[in-house]
A and B are shown apart, each in its own frame.
With several copies, the nearest count.
Chain A
């Protein structure tokens, strides 16, 4: 499960640190104590920044780094598509073999395919993604967020 890509992101995380944002959330994985504080900043419909700080295992750290790399600069719709694809991959219990189309959407994040075989670690990989979703809903207003996904 420890692909080189994951270890790379773990050792050299992208965009780590807290910067200005429109909303901040704090998520905890109670079973292992992993924590993340995450902020989002939007410019119109564009993900202008995702900044974060936290402690956790290589999987949760690398996953936050990959999230930053993938989502910053994207339009919200596109970012949501990426998040959905990542969620699908992580919930696949190792049954999903990422194809070219998925690889195009998820880029480095396909390296997490192996993690989906380990139920205890799936939560680690998803921690930052759930935090991002939550922060985005807050930043754009729950109502607005719901409307968009409807």
Chain B
């Protein structure tokens, strides 16, 4: 194993950071050290987040919002406090713009459904158009397909260039006066591409279309500033950013959240209910039907604290250095083809590749036997595989605790894969 990556500028002190993540000490397959490179699927959780979860359950657990007893008040303060933390983390102009959902998928479905039931001028209906891209996660494709089927609207999309970027050459034909909404991913979960948000937002604003940004792979890895993005909605998910499963976020502009109709109905989201009709609470509660993921919001708050204490710019610099290093080393592996940008520029720490004609399943399995966890398959972005004429890829994805030594382990592991199937 080489350790040529040791001296990379911008690296975090991963040895210290890894101490916060109990699972990273785990051995797998009778003694192999775990090398966890599946962070685009989900991240691991630091002790601080686990403590926040058990602390909540052991001392403060109650249902929120409607109680006059101590526990209910504490639980409410913790839950709403988590909203404050998330709002600050994404630089939201108002805490009331932060809606807690169960995951990014629900956030995106929420927007699609709101727009289907909205009044003019937001309503998506026959003779209007929805624009997405060919590099979306299924969670940002299927909700729009369903909306198009159910309303008669037309679904259009941007294609991809050979080097894994959005092809915006025909932007004026794709986004037109008929476009009601443009929804796209900020950082691709399969290609690693970082997309040019500004150019798309500008065109969308020109035609008066709403913009939805899927920031599921951005929020964990770089400073996310919803005001700078200038989008109308931003969706992301807690479990990829050191938080628990079961919690997602939808940020939306206040005026829109006020104007748009609710999605799920039930407790918490109402103002007053009679059998004949109901009125709804102001946002964000209007969109949070039922008992919310209280403990999970608290856990996400702790995750946001954890990341902020390190600093998102430092996290990004760390991952950038590591990605540069990994791209370089992977390009040395014979027969390896990176699917996506082949340099570190405008790309995140997610690298998909094929290895000759060895099937990704076999690549993943032989790596696993060495303790190296990568993901194989279409990564919920099957249109990308179709676009590049491949059935699947192997994907290695890094996070703030990933080290150059782990990149080296991956490269060595791939060597073994080649020997095995060679």
Contact = CB atoms under 8 A, between A and B. Distances in A.
Direct contact of A and B (CB under 8 A): yes
Contacts of B385: 33
A31 B377 contact: yes
Contacts of A111: none
Given A58-B362, A121-B365, A124-B361, A30 B67 contact: no
A147 to B, nearest CB: 25
Contact of A56 (B65, B359, B377): B359
B392 A121 contact: no
A120 to B, nearest CB: 5
B391 A35 contact: yes
Contacts of A55: 359, 391
A118 B270 contact: no
Interface residues of A, number: 22
A33 B72 contact: no
A120 B66 CA distance: 7
B359 A120 contact: no
Contacts of A96: none
B66 A31 contact: yes
Nearest to A31: B66
B68 A121 contact: yes
A20 B389 CA distance: 27
A114 B55 CA distance: 28
Interface residues of B, number: 27
A23 to B, nearest CB: 22
Interface in A26-56: 28, 30-35, 55-56
Given A57-B359, A118-B68, A30 B271 contact: yes
A31 B391 contact: no
Contact of B392 (A32, A61, A120): A32
A30 B391 contact: no
A59 interface: yes
Contact of B281 (A1, A30, A61, A120): A30
A28 B391 CA distance: 11
A35 B361 CA distance: 13
A33 B385 CA distance: 9
Nearest to A120: B68
B359 A58 contact: yes
Contacts of A58: 359, 361-362, 421
B78 to A, nearest CB: 12
Contacts of A124: 361
Contacts of B281: 30
B76 interface: yes
A119 interface: yes
A10 to B, nearest CB: 8
B420 A32 contact: no
A35 to B, nearest CB: 7
Nearest to A2: B420
Contacts of B72: 120
B67 A120 contact: yes
B329 interface: no
Contacts of A121: 68, 361, 365
Contacts of B362: 57-59
B73 A118 contact: yes
Nearest to A93: B77
B170 interface: no
B382 interface: yes
B307 interface: no
Contacts of A35: 391
A32 B73 contact: no
B272 interface: yes
A61 to B, nearest CB: 8
B365 A118 contact: yes
Given A33-B378, A34-B391, A1 B65 contact: no
A90 to B, nearest CB: 15
Interface in B351-409: 359-362, 365-366, 376-378, 382, 385, 391-392
Contact of B73 (A28, A33, A57, A119): A119
30 contacts: A1-B365, A2-B366, A2-B420, A7-B421, A30-B270, A30-B272, A31-B66, A32-B360, A32-B361, A32-B377, A32-B378, A32-B391, A33-B391, A33-B392, A34-B359, A55-B391, A57-B360, A58-B359, A58-B361, A58-B362, A59-B362, A61-B359, A119-B77, A120-B67, A120-B72, A120-B73, A120-B76, A121-B68, A121-B365, A124-B361
